[in-house]
């Protein structure tokens, strides 16, 4: 290369740098952009709004992940129902009259509805959607159900516990949930005693919460059940108590170890096994990345998870920053749960179309009855969310929620005792299409921007831009791609 050519190339390089700096460094400091921001927020929240997407679009991928983690909380911002502060005195139901039993059961049903409505309200209003997504994730992992626990106050306390540890440490959460009164009642730990060991919790803590199937024996289950004896509930205040006379302090052989183990020591043995980290990482992968975990990546992440003492934030950071999370092949690869579908549409269309109890009923009809998973395995998720009935109902909801009818005055968002649910087509709606379109900017192609907001992939059948705005939006909502994230 001649001296003149070298000078010329150097001059061009200087000009390029000066041009970039003169444009505010926009190219050098470019953020992740609209599509990446939408992908990140839709996987970690409940339907990102256009304003949220634009804020994150200016950040790099790493900065976006860090902001999500830094802004995560440990407590709810929505005030809970008043009754959560008063533990109900123990009542021997069999000694009561039929009328008294019905009155107590009715009160519990009403409290259960209020509790789920409160959680829905928190998921809608939270400044940290990631916190609520993780609280919901752990609710599906460490399953308990109101229909067996029966005392709503215990389920409320468990929900608070899951939120507090949602992004903390898995080992601490495991120890706490094992002693949680709602869990003790749900998996019969409260009646587990030396004379009659109950194996329910011992089996599920190995199969579902830690090791996964195939990594323990029936003898391990029996030994663990003996170790957990004595953990029970003080029914005077609904807290954990240890009944020493119920505990089996004898020698047990568990997972190749021999000793006079108690419950905490059993949990520590489970945490020492590499299968536990792998099992949890696979569930994280299916929750945030794709239906089929990558074996090599699972091994890498699980090893780091154990090395980081089961810290959840570092695991989530590595997962969200991994190439697998961002690859185009994994976009639109997951199906929205009913909660994500309903809350996401409310948030993305900027509407509050229905009373909380109607939304709860719809979520249940779509297959996700919050605080009442179908069994101890939780909701199967994935393709199980969709069948002929639920697909049709999702389409009905999407069409009616976006109908932009003239809003009618709403009374309260919470159904009063004895009040019948209002039919879906009689609910007050307040989706206003013109303000919604204006959010994309006066000079923007709002049709393209609306598609980028609502869909993770191009629609199977793109609506004509000549359609009236409301029909165009409905065309996007009714496209099968809208069910994906």
Question: What distance in Å separates the CA atoms of residue 408 and residue 410, rounded to the nearest whole number?
Answer: 6
Q: Among 330, 346, 363, where does a domain finish?
A: 330
Beta bridge partners of 3: none
Is 116 found in the same domain as 200? yes
Residue whose entry in the numeric block shows the structure tokens 């000079």: 443
Structure tokens at 320: 């969200």
Question: Within 10 A of 279 (CB to CB), how many other CB atoms are there?
Answer: 22
pLDDT of residue 231: 98
Give the count of domains, the chain. Answer: 5
Overall average pLDDT of the 334-354 stretch? 91
pLDDT of residue 355: 76
pLDDT of residue 430: 61
pLDDT of residue 15: 32
pTM equals: 0.90
The mean predicted confidence, pLDDT, of the chain is 90
Q: Among 330, 365, 395, where does a domain finish?
A: 330
Per-residue pLDDT reduced to its tens digit, 120-140:
999 999 999 999 999 999 999
Is 321 found in the same domain as 258? no
Residue 295 lies in a domain: yes
pLDDT of residue 412: 41
Is 269 found in the same domain as 121? yes
With a cut of 70, say whether residue 263 has pLDDT above it. yes
Question: Largest alpha-carbon pair distance within the chain?
Answer: 104
Backbone angles phi, psi at 252, to 5 degrees: -130, 155
With a cut of 70, say whether residue 284 has pLDDT above it. yes
Is 284 found in the same domain as 364? no
Per-residue pLDDT reduced to its tens digit, 39-64:
999 999 999 999 999 999 999 999 99
In terms of Cα–Cα distance, which of 339, 359, 352 is closest to 431?
A: 352
The full 3-state SS of 264-286, as one line of letters, equals HHHHHHHHHCHHHHHHHHHHHHH
Q: Which domain holds residue 25?
A: 1-30
Pick the more confident residue, 426 or 483.
Answer: 483
Per-residue pLDDT reduced to its tens digit, 61-114:
999 999 999 999 999 999 999 999 999 988 888 888 999 999 999 999 999 999
* pLDDT level of residue 4 (50, 70, 90 thresholds): very low
* pLDDT level of residue 26 (50, 70, 90 thresholds): very low
pLDDT of residue 404: 62
pLDDT of residue 17: 33
pLDDT of residue 30: 74
Is 135 found in the same domain as 244? yes
* pLDDT level of residue 25 (50, 70, 90 thresholds): very low
Pick the more confident residue, 421 or 477.
Answer: 477
With a cut of 60, say whether residue 9 has pLDDT above it. no
Structure tokens at 368: 């996700």
With a cut of 50, say whether residue 11 has pLDDT above it. no
Overall average pLDDT of the 12-18 stretch? 34
pLDDT of residue 230: 98
Residue 66 lies in a domain: no
Residue 18 lies in a domain: yes
Is 418 found in the same domain as 292? no
Is 25 found in the same domain as 89? no
Is 133 found in the same domain as 246? yes
pLDDT of residue 429: 55
* pLDDT level of residue 476 (50, 70, 90 thresholds): very high
pLDDT of residue 212: 98
DSSP 430: -
Residue 457 lies in a domain: yes
Residue 146 lies in a domain: yes
Overall average pLDDT of the 184-201 stretch? 98
Question: Within 10 A of 475 (CB to CB), how many other CB atoms are there?
Answer: 17
Overall average pLDDT of the 179-192 stretch? 98
Question: What distance in Å separates the CA atoms of residue 320 and residue 317, rounded to the nearest whole number?
Answer: 5
Is 248 found in the same domain as 365? no
- Compute CA distances 75 → 132, 163, 166, 409, whole Å: 10, 6, 10, 33
* pLDDT level of residue 356 (50, 70, 90 thresholds): confident
Residue whose entry in the numeric block shows the structure tokens 């909701």: 379
With a cut of 70, say whether residue 22 has pLDDT above it. no
Is 283 found in the same domain as 245? no
Residue 68 lies in a domain: no
Contacts of 445 (CB under 8 A, 6+ apart): none
Residue 368 lies in a domain: yes
Structure tokens at 418: 């004895």
With a cut of 70, say whether residue 411 has pLDDT above it. no
Residue 67 lies in a domain: no
Question: What distance in Å separates the CA atoms of residue 11 and residue 23, rounded to the nearest whole number?
Answer: 19
3-state class of 297 per DSSP? helix
3-state class of 311 per DSSP? strand
Is 222 found in the same domain as 97? yes
Question: What distance in Å separates the CA atoms of residue 329 and residue 319, rounded to the nearest whole number?
Answer: 16
Per-residue pLDDT reduced to its tens digit, 418-475:
445 445 444 545 688 999 999 999 888 999 999 999 999 999 999 999 999 999 999 9
With a cut of 60, say whether residue 6 has pLDDT above it. no
Residue whose entry in the numeric block shows the structure tokens 């004895």: 418
With a cut of 80, say whether residue 407 has pLDDT above it. no
pLDDT above 70 coverage of the chain, percent? 88
Could you give the count of Cα atoms lying within 13 Å of 56 in the half-sphere of its Cβ? 22
* pLDDT level of residue 403 (50, 70, 90 thresholds): confident
Q: What DSSP letter does each residue of 96-153 carry, written as one string? A: S-HHHHHHHHHHHHHHHHHHHHHHHHHHHH-S-HHHHHHHHHHHHHS---HHHH--HH
Backbone angles phi, psi at 73, to 5 degrees: -115, -175
With a cut of 80, say whether residue 29 has pLDDT above it. no
Structure tokens at 81: 């129902």
Is 291 found in the same domain as 219? no
Contacts of 420 (CB under 8 A, 6+ apart): none
Overall average pLDDT of the 298-324 stretch? 98
Overall average pLDDT of the 7-30 stretch? 38
């Amino acid at each position: 290369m001649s001296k003149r050519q070298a000078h010329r190339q150097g001059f061009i390089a200087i000009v390029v740098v000066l041009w970039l700096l003169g444009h505010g460094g926009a190219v050098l400091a470019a953020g992740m952009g609209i599509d990446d921001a939408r992908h990140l927020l839709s996987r970690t929240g409940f339907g990102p709004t256009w304003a949220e997407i634009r804020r994150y679009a200016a950040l790099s991928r790493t900065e976006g992940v860090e902001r999500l983690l830094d802004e995560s909380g440990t407590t709810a911002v929505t005030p809970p129902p008043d009754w959560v502060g008063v533990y109900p005195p123990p009542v021997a139901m069999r000694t009561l009259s039929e009328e008294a039993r019905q009155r107590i059961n009715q009160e519990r049903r009403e409290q259960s509805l209020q509790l789920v409505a409160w959680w829905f309200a928190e998921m809608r209003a939270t400044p940290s959607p990631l916190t609520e997504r993780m609280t919901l994730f752990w609710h599906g992992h460490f399953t308990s159900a109101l229909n067996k626990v029966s005392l709503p106050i215990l389920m409320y306390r468990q929900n608070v516990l899951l939120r507090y540890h949602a992004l903390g440490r898995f080992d601490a959460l495991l120890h706490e949930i094992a002693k949680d009164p709602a869990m003790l009642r749900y998996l019969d730990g409260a009646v587990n005693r030396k004379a009659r060991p109950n194996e329910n919790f011992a089996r599920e803590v190995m199969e579902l919460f830690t090791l996964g199937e195939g990594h323990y024996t029936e003898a391990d289950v029996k030994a663990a059940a003996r170790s957990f004896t004595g953990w029970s509930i003080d029914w005077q205040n609904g807290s954990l108590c240890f009944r020493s006379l119920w505990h089996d302090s004898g020698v047990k052989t568990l997972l190749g170890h021999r000793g006079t183990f108690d419950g905490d020591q059993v949990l520590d043995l489970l945490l020492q096994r590499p299968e536990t980290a792998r099992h949890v990482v696979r569930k994280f992968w299916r929750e945030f990345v794709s239906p089929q975990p990558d074996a090599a990546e699972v091994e890498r992440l699980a090893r780091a998870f154990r090395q980081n003492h089961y810290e959840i934030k570092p695991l989530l950071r590595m997962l969200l920053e991994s190439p697998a999370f961002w690859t185009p092949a994994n976009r639109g690869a997951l199906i929205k749960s009913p909660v994500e579908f309903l809350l996401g549409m409310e948030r993305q269309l900027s509407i509050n179309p229905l009373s909380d109890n109607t939304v709860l009923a719809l979520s249940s009809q779509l297959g996700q009855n919050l605080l009442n998973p179908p069994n101890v395995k939780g909701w199967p998720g994935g393709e199980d969310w969709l069948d002929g009935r639920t697909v049709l109902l999702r389409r009905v909801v999407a069409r009616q929620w976006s109908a932009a009818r003239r809003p009618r005055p709403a009374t309260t968002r919470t159904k009063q005792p004895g009040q019948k649910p209002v039919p879906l087509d009689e609910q007050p709606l307040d989706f206003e299409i013109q303000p919604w379109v204006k959010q994309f900017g006066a000079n923007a192609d709002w049709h393209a921007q609306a598609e980028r907001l609502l869909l993770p992939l191009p629609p199977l059948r793109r609506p004509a831009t000549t359609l009236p705005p409301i029909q165009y939006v409905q065309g996007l909502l009714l496209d099968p791609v809208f069910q994906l994230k």
